[in-house]
A = this chain, B = another copy of it.
Amino acid sequence: MPLTAFTNVFAGNPLDRSSYARSKPDWVAEKLADPASLALVIWNGKPMVEKREGGGSQIAYVRAAMAGELSDGAERLLFMGLWKETAVFALDLEGAADPADGPLEGLGRFEDLRMVALDLPGPDAAILATAKAMFEWRRRHRFCAVCGHASEASEGGWKRVCPSCKAEHFPRTDPVVIMLPTRGETCLLGRQAAWPKGTYSALAGFLEPGESIEEACAREIWEESGLRTASVRYHSTQPWPYPSSLMIGLIAEVEDGEATPDQTELEEVRWFTREEARTLVNGGLPGARAPGGLAIAHQLIKAWAEA
């Protein structure tokens, strides 16, 4: 895949993460004070955005120094990387009173990332996905899992260290396999009871310890539809900050046999011809619909249907 083209929303973060610089607290502090440095803001999981000239939205950056003042120490700050020469930080206002009524009044509005993602330039969506994933990690990892002591942010926010047992903790990313089972000129989609009526999507599940991507894919297809997998083809990945997933998109050829939904995760599985899948993904199949372009499932169905 050419690296200039990103199939999936939330991929394509253009910042140079400059990970070598994270371990230099003086350099990070200097950049935070630098009037040229910027910061994005996230409040209770919602990024601050603003109107973009010509339509749509974009990240509403504030001066990094202002973020530094609002941060009340390292726990709410994250060094995101460099955009050319400009250092970019992220500020987490989790639990604060509505900042749009306070110090950030008039500087932007806080929106659900999933709602606003397709309205943002791709690079902005990817930068926000990175920041959100990091803050979700932090929110669920304030304590050392080894000994139970409160841990402390380190390395510009990319590491947590336990002052008691000295254990180091790094951001967690959970690999999820998400796959389109195919058999010749048909593909299988499933629907969960909780989804809006008529919605069908790819099958998916968390990869477990001791599994290769291909094994996890075959297990999920077996568990959810009772079908055996013959072969697995990698398509693409999507960072998915809800809270910390890496969606690994696959297209899997399955063996003969009757597909039966497991009834735990899926209430129905349904075969679609290639033409039906093409119509489905373009929104035109009566009584059935697929996830929108935000979801890697959409890209998987589209890639197979239009191949």
* Cβ contact within 8 Å between A137 and B209: yes
In A181-231, which residues have CB < 8 Å from any B CB? Answer: 206-215, 218-219, 223, 229-231
A232 contacts partner chain B, Cβ-Cβ < 8 Å:
yes
Known contacts A3-B230, A140-B145, A148-B149; is A173 also within 8 Å of B207 by CB? yes
In A1-54, the 8 Å CB interface with B consists of 1-3, 6, 8, 10-13, 17, 19-20
> Any chain B CB within 8 A of the CB of A172?
yes
Inter-chain contact B175/A246, CB cutoff 8 Å: yes
Interface size on A, residues (CB 8 A): 68
| A173 CA to B244 CA, complexed, in Å | 12
* B210 and A130 contact, CB distance less than 8 A: yes
Q: Among the listed B129, B141, B148, B208, which residue makes an inter-chain contact with A210, where contact means beta carbons less than 8 Å apart?
A: B129
- A234 CB–B CB distance under 8 Å: yes
CB-based contact A212/B230 at 8 Å:
no
Write out the residue numbers on chain B whose beta carbons fall within 8 Å of the beta carbon of A281: none
Judge whether B129 and A140 touch: CB under 8 Å. Answer: no
Q: At the interface, yes or no: A241 with Cβ under 8 Å from chain B?
A: yes
B137 touches A143 (CB 8 A): no
- Contact between chains at A212 and B232 (CB < 8 Å): no
Contact indicator A214/B1 (Cβ below 8 Å): yes
Question: A130-154: which have CB < 8 Å to B?
Answer: 130-131, 133-134, 137, 140-150
**What residues of chain B lie closer than 8 Å to A238, measured between beta carbons?**
212
Inter-subunit contact B12/A207 (CB<8 Å): no
Q: Does A107 contact B (CB under 8 A)?
A: no
A170 at the interface (CB under 8 A from B): yes
Residue ID in chain B nearest A245 by CB atoms: B209
Tell me which residues from 220 to 262 in chain A have a Cβ below 8 Å from any Cβ of chain B: 223, 229-232, 234, 236-239, 241, 244, 246, 248, 262
Bound form: Cα–Cα A71–B130 in Å: 42
Closest-CB distance, A20 to chain B (whole angstroms): 7
Nearest 6 interchain pairs by C-beta:
A130-B210, A133-B209, A143-B148, A234-B234, A11-B212, A148-B148
